[in-house]
Amino acid sequence: MAWVEVCEAGEVEVEDVIRFDQEDRTFAVYRSDKGDYYATDGFCTHGRFHLSEGLVMGKLIECPKHNGRFDITNGAAVRVPACKDLQTYSVKVEAGKVFIDIE
């Protein structure tokens, strides 16, 4: 386990995504329409574009470049041209802060 603090819980709005850089790695941290937090790798597996510039719709994230979609709860690619799943990471909220397990 390697929990890393990302931000204040309120910084991620409902149905939105933020980018989180940790050394040379980039993550995307989401809040679904239900208000739950999720985290995945920060780049689309199809074209390496920042998912943090995309659109969260319910529990889906749409890539800003080619409209490929992933399920943020499990990283599954659900719409082409995204075909390869995203790596997901555990998220917890403690004392009003968001943490992700980057291992």
Which residue, 13 or 94, has its beta carbon nearer to other proteins? 13
Judged by CB under 8 A, does residue 9 bind other proteins? Answer: no
Choose one: 3-11, 37-45, 50-58, 86-94; the region binding other proteins (CB under 8 A): 50-58
Q: How far apart are CA 12 and CA 35, in angstroms?
A: 9
Answer for the pair 26, 41: CB distance below 8 angstroms, yes or no.
yes
Pairing of strands 60-62, 69-71: antiparallel
- Residue 67 contacts other proteins per CB under 8 A: yes
Least distance CB 81 / other proteins (angstroms)? 4
Query: x-or-dash pattern for other proteins, window 14-33, by CB under 8 A?
Result: --x-----------------
C-beta closer to other proteins: residue 5 or 53? 53
Residue numbers at the binding site for other proteins (CB under 8 A): 16, 46-48, 53-55, 57, 62, 64-67, 69, 79-81, 83
